[in-house]
Structure 1
């Protein structure tokens, strides 16, 4: 995820690709969520009480959910500005490679998280694995925008791909907020 975030943000900035930068920002948010999940699992393995674990998980969900909703707002505003000013992105070979790699790797990672979650009895890890598949959907969406820009020179493709990402980002953000509010299985993943 660190490599994905770094490459996406660097390639996106070099190519002026909002879709790649947004994909990288989402990866940073996923890194934060993964670190919190690891911390939560460590608390649980060390015998912390359920109330303390639940409180930590809710705080983390608020942070992640809020960050995702702010990212969605940024994508909408930046896409609108790019479309209004007819500002397009450049082709990005690194963006294409990253999107293909993420689109292929993330489903395997999702299945592994779910399997391990079942083995250790962690609902949080199973839900994270189920919701991680969103990253693969986002990767393929970014790929469509980057490839359309590279092959056809469509100046608007990156902004449209970015706006398509908003669905996934808002969905993830809303699910995290619902989880923070105590709505069990907010994403329907468990």
Structure 2
């Protein structure tokens, strides 16, 4: 009987097989996105490399290198998606989903390096202007680079948001930054054709600033994931769902955190002190059930049921000193 009572009023979790399958499928989607985008960017970079050899365009060379770097960011993210599919262990009890956040750090660093190289190339070109041959082909290659990067960016950002992967969104933002670099090449080629070669490095500097803004957004998103931040709207939604559950008299703390592209919840609820063990347990289970149906990326929830205290009894009195110390 004592063990049954402890079960009713201590945290418990019922993992859903359907949610686990959804998590694996979202990782599989992420891997497919990376495979497709990697192929698109490699083809675009190869086409640009041929035209670099024809034209001698330093700006296009930089754009081609950026596309190669963007394609390579798929490698750490693909590793993270693969690692994240491993089951939890006694050491990694929450699983390996946070590998995506580590990959996100690598991606942010690559964006920073990309922006630094773009700025350096622009300054060098500003100090030492150079002529460019085959401007028509350079412009065409720049358009190819922009279209490829923008398509990849939209694809990665869309799927990243759908599966809740901040790292994949950051990778999409990186692709968009490289698309801006391609536009700089295009504008520079047009200006060169009009007899204004100095416009190319000036535009390159402006694009570097744009890349820095992309870097800021990507870094902020990854930072928030590392700090276990969530959209406050999710907390509001969870509280509404909990409050609407039959048998819930009050809500204690509601905590959500991202682990990779999956959410986990920890919830404290208040139930009637006169409920039986089975009835209290049923309220906790129903709360978890409703949460997992209403929050699409929620993979698991731990619900802690506390009895109400009409006589003023503090059921957590032994824990007060420990909680104050924390």
Give the TM-score normalised by structure 2.
0.46
Q: Does 1:49 align with 2:96?
A: yes
| 1:54 Cα deviation from its structure 2 partner | 3.4
Q: Does 1:164 align with 2:210?
A: no
Secondary structure (helix, strand or coil) at the match of 1:184 reads helix
The structure whose RCO (Cα within 8 Å, separation 6+) is larger is: 1
- Which one has a larger percent strand, Structure 1 or Structure 2? 2
| 1:71 Cα deviation from its structure 2 partner | 1.0
Aligned length: 180
| 1:96 Cα deviation from its structure 2 partner | 1.6
CA distance in 1, matches of 2:213, 2:54: 28
Q: 1:5 to 1:174 in 2, by over 3 A?
A: farther
Unmatched 5+ stretches in structure 2: 1-40, 88-94, 226-230, 232-326
Q: Does 1:15 align with 2:55?
A: yes
Match of 1:80 in 2: 126
- Which one has a larger percent helix, Structure 1 or Structure 2? 1
Match of 1:155 in 2: 197
Q: Are 2:85 and 2:96, in contact at CA under 8 Å, matched by a contact in 1?
A: no
What is the RMSD computed on CA atoms of the aligned residues?
A: 3.3
| 1:30 Cα deviation from its structure 2 partner | 0.7
Q: Are 2:63 and 2:182, in contact at CA under 8 Å, matched by a contact in 1?
A: yes
Secondary structure (helix, strand or coil) at the match of 2:223 reads coil
Q: Are 1:75 and 1:166, in contact at CA under 8 Å, matched by a contact in 2?
A: no
Within the candidate set 110, 114, 117, 1:71 is matched to: 117
Q: Does 1:25 align with 2:72?
A: no
Q: 1:110 to 1:73 in 2, by over 3 A?
A: closer
| 1:51 Cα deviation from its structure 2 partner | 4.8
Unmatched 5+ stretches in structure 1: none
Q: Are 2:83 and 2:97, in contact at CA under 8 Å, matched by a contact in 1?
A: no
CA offsets per residue over residues 108-135 of structure 1, 9 Å max, x none? 3322223322333322223333443333
Give the TM-score normalised by structure 1.
0.72
Q: Does 1:183 align with 2:223?
A: yes
